[in-house]
Structure formats: C-alpha cells, structure tokens
Homo-oligomer: A and B are copies of this chain.
C-alpha cells in the first residue's frame, strides 16, 4: 500500500480550461471571483493532487488553509502579482546515526499530512510520511526510523474497521520487528475512535503506539502538527509505556503535549490545538517541547520488551451508536433490527436514561418496549451517557431494575464512542451472549475505571 505512485499534478477538464484562460501555472497568485454569489478571494494556485476532482481548483489562502473551489460557469480568474515555488522532497530517507532509539511511523492521511508546509514555510504536497520527516530534520539526531510507511490516505471519519485492521497489522509487524514504539499519523476528527479500536485489537504490546495529528494550521508559522508529531515520536522512542495513546497539544501554545489514554480521550473542540481531552481521568502524562515527560498519578502499562504482539482484529460491522433524547423516535431500534444489527450503543441522558415514562397518550415515545424487543431478538443494547463525563447508574439496584425490565446493560463510565468501537470488537471475537456481556463490562484497556476521580472534570 506504500504510495509510491506518481501524482498527476496537471489539471484537466473545466478547471484546466479556466486556468488556461488566464495562462496561469501552479504557484501563481490569483484572484478568484464569483460574481453571482458575490464573493472573491486571493490565493496561490496549487497543483492538483490525487484527491482533487476534475472541476475543483486547489488554492492556498493567505491564512494558510488550502481550499478546493468548484469550477462553475460563474467563476472567474484574474492573474495578480505573486508566485510561490513548488518543491518536492526527495523520496528516500537519509542514512542515520547508529545507536539511536528506533521507531517506525505509519501514515493514514489527515490534516497532518497536508498541512506540514507551515513548518518549512514552503509549499509542498506533503503526501508521504517521508516528506514530513524531511521537514523535521531535528528528530533525526535523536531517533532512528526503521520504517516510514503511508498505509492509505483517508480523512479520519472515513477510517473504519478494515483500515483499523490494516493499521493493527502493520503496527504488529513493526513492534514484533523490535522497534521501541510506533507512531501512527492520523486525521484528528475521529482519531479517538481509531485509538480505541487499536487499543482493543492490539491487546498486550511491548511499547507505545502513539497517535498524532494536526488539529489546525495557522498563518503564524504554526508548530501544531509538528510538535504533536515530534512529541509522539519521542513517546514512541523513549517513554516507559505500553499502551495506545493520543499525543496532542496540552494548551493552545507550543509548550507541551498531553499523552492521553486511547480509550479515554475525545476531541472536544472543532478547531483548537488543545482540542483533545482525557475524559474522567487525567492524561497519563505531559511531554514538553524538549521531550521531558511528567507522568500523572494514574496507573499505566509499562514497557516490557518480551511481549510479542498477537492482535485480535476480527470486527462485527453490524453495530450502531444512537442518541436518545426528548422526542427521539424509539422505532429506530426496530430499524436497526431490520438492518441486521447485532448490537447498539445508546447515548442516553444523565445516568444512562432513555425516555421511558411519557404521558399515557404519548406512550409511543417510550424506548423501553423497543429495547426489550431488541434484546429479545439477541441484540446487545449498551447504555452510555451523552453527558460524556461521569458514570452511568452509580446505584446498582436501580440499574438492576432497569436491566430486568429491558435487558439493556449500563456500561459504567465508558465513553459512547469507545463503547461503540468495543462492541464491534467484542461481537467480532466472541459469540456467546453471556460472554459478550461479561467482556463489555470488563476493563480491557482502561476504558472502564473502578472508581470515578473527583479531579477530572471540566
């Protein structure tokens, strides 16, 4: 899957016609005008890349963002003064010093791969992990890279279980080949789904699997994705840790990154650098820009050279995550049954409630009979909370009653997203109903804590 293919950087079709009409080349500064929609903007024309469809112009704005603009008959171009140089990096890693801690790096796509140009200041089509590493030469003096591979290039929300399986396979190969750790570069939006999946699939590992991405870029010569990547590489190379973690900015500035447990982390902001937060537990640790790690007082799995990774990657895709809320239509569960789903995680309210006792004449709003129907059909129905923080059903008797009533299972303090991913993994690897329930309620990778901490809330 390593992407060594040639990228076609020539525009075609309508985009090509329009560009030719002003005799522009990639790198040229342009004014782009849409008279009908009454907007205009300026930026540098970028080369087409493998994701650009035929009628899209790729443009770099002055704020640093690359955007795609659809070519319609209302679009006009105007050549204006300004030109940037488009360079491409060589494709081979340089030879490295001996005796450095060794890691491998896997690329999967996402912002971090397309925005690294801010680090160098130049405009590059940074499509491969190699290129990113050429942009961060400082790392090469402290870490040695055994393998740098691009597995695929997908936005994080488009990555699902087949991709998780592929990542798990490659991580396994690398770890079993003896590297100290592995870095997985990943889009940020849905990174916490993938970090959960890898946590369950990989099981016991000898060293860290550190995921990192670029949350955003800026026009201030931002260090965003770069600090995350450097920090993740250092965690993979040196940290006394044997878990899947997410390494992302701790604060809006470039002082340090948090090391979040893969099953207890969530993207909590659309755009801030420090968007990732550990939920209900503190981050495992914090790594500053010089690479010093401060660990928090929370148990973690330590490095153990002797472990050989034996992943369990089967996954049942017929699952769903659904929100219950005032006025929600409970028959959605019937639809899930019809679609052949094997299990559903409900994001309930408060302690893990669903609309249950509406007024007599609005009975069809109660989820209880439908949940009962679903569990009787053999579906696993798990309850989490849309509050995100806190634990469902702290009082076992109340929960017992509800469970007896409907067959649903309250999933302690598991995050809804983590519960969804775990469910697919559990259903993929176990088929006895009782065992599924037992394992859903067993802490495997830090996703369930025994006691809630008072110090870990907003």
Which residues does A use to contact B, with CB under 8 Å? 37, 39, 41, 51, 61, 65, 67-70, 152, 154-163, 188-190, 193-194, 252, 266-272, 274-275, 277, 317, 319-329, 331-332, 335, 339, 347-359, 362, 365, 385, 387-392, 394-398, 400-401, 404, 417, 420, 424, 454, 457-458
Pairs A–B under 8 Å by Cβ, sample size 24: A67-B395, A157-B325, A157-B348, A157-B354, A157-B355, A160-B326, A160-B365, A162-B359, A188-B350, A189-B351, A190-B325, A267-B350, A268-B457, A268-B458, A269-B390, A270-B389, A270-B391, A270-B394, A271-B351, A272-B389, A274-B457, A322-B322, A327-B424, A332-B332
For A188, what are the chain B residues with a Cβ–Cβ distance below 8 Å?
A: 350
A321-B329 Cα distance, complex, nearest whole Å? 10
Chain B: minimal CB distance from A447 (Å)? 16
Taking A275-B390, A357-B155, A424-B327 as contacts, is the C-beta distance between A270 and B401 under 8 angstroms? no
Residues of B within 8 A of A157 (CB): 324-326, 348-350, 353-356
Give chain B nearest CB distance to A45 CB in angstroms.
15
In the complex, what residue of chain B is closest to A163 when comparing beta carbons? B359
Shortest beta-carbon distance from A292 to chain B in Å = 24
Which residues in B have their C-beta under 8 angstroms from that of A275?
Answer: 387, 389-390
Q: Is the CB of A387 within 8 A of B158?
A: no
Closest to A424 in B: B327
Q: What's the nearest-Cβ distance from chain B to residue A35, in Å?
A: 15
Which of B65, B325, B357 is the one whose CB lies under 8 Å from A193?
A: B325
Known contacts A69-B397, A272-B390; is-contact A321 B332 (Cβ 8 Å) = no
Cβ-closest chain B residue relative to A335: B335
A362, B365: Cα distance in complex, Å: 34
Contact A268 B321 (CB under 8 A): no
Whether A320 touches B326, Cβ cut-off 8 Å, given contacts A275-B390, A392-B270, is no
CA A152 to CA B359, docked complex, whole Å: 9
CB neighbours of A51 from chain B (8 A): 357
Q: Are B397 and A358 in contact (CB under 8 A)?
A: no
In the complex, what residues of B have CB within 8 A of residue A347's CB? 323
The answer to whether residues A155 and B356 also contact, given A319-B327, A387-B275 and a CB cut-off of 8 A, is: yes
A270 partner, pick from B327, B328, B351, B424, beta carbons under 8 A: B351
**Beyond A158-B356, A270-B351: 6 further Cβ-contacts under 8 Å?**
A70-B401, A154-B357, A190-B349, A268-B388, A268-B458, A323-B347
A350 partner residues in chain B, CB cutoff 8 A: 156-157, 188-190, 267, 270
**In the complex the two chains form, what is the Cα distance from A322 to B329 in whole Å?**
11
Decide if B269 touches A457 in the complex (CB within 8 Å): yes
Which chain B residues border A65 with CB–CB below 8 Å? 395, 398
Q: Judging by beta carbons under 8 Å apart, are A398 and B68 in contact?
A: yes
Q: Is the CB of A387 within 8 A of B351?
A: no
Q: Do B355 and A158 have beta carbons less than 8 Å apart?
A: yes
A317 touches B323 (CB 8 A): no
Looking across the interface, which residue of chain B has its beta carbon closest to that of A69?
B397
Q: How far is the CB of A100 from chain B (nearest CB, A)?
A: 35
A267–B390 alpha-carbon span in the complex (Å): 11
Residue of B nearest to A277 (CB): B458
Tell me which residues across on chain B come within 8 A of A331, comparing CB atoms.
339
Hey, which chain B residues are within 8 Å of A354, CB to CB? 157
Given contacts A271-B391, A350-B189, contact A321 B317 (CB under 8 A): no
Question: For residue A398, which residue of chain B has the nearest CB?
Answer: B67
Residues of B within 8 A of A329 (CB): 320, 339
In the complex the two chains form, is B67's CB within 8 Å of A325's CB? no
In the complex the two chains form, is A160's CB within 8 Å of B358's CB?
Answer: yes
CA distance A392 to B269 in the complex (A): 10
Taking the closest CB of chain B, its distance from the CB of A85, in whole angstroms, is 24
Are A189 and B353 within 8 A (Cβ)? yes
Contact between chains at A404 and B327 (CB < 8 Å) = no
Contact of A267 among B67, B352, B357, B387 (CB under 8 A): B387
Q: How far is the CB of A340 from chain B (nearest CB, A)?
A: 11
Nearest B residue (CB) for A197: B326
Looking at the complex, which one of B317, B324, B349, B391 makes contact with A327 (CB distance below 8 Å)?
B317
- Closest beta carbon of chain B to A396's beta carbon, Å: 8
Q: Which residues of B contact A353 (CB under 8 A)?
A: 155, 157, 189
- The smallest C-beta distance from A248 to any residue of chain B, in angstroms, reads 13
Determine whether the beta carbon of A323 is less than 8 Å from that of B326: no
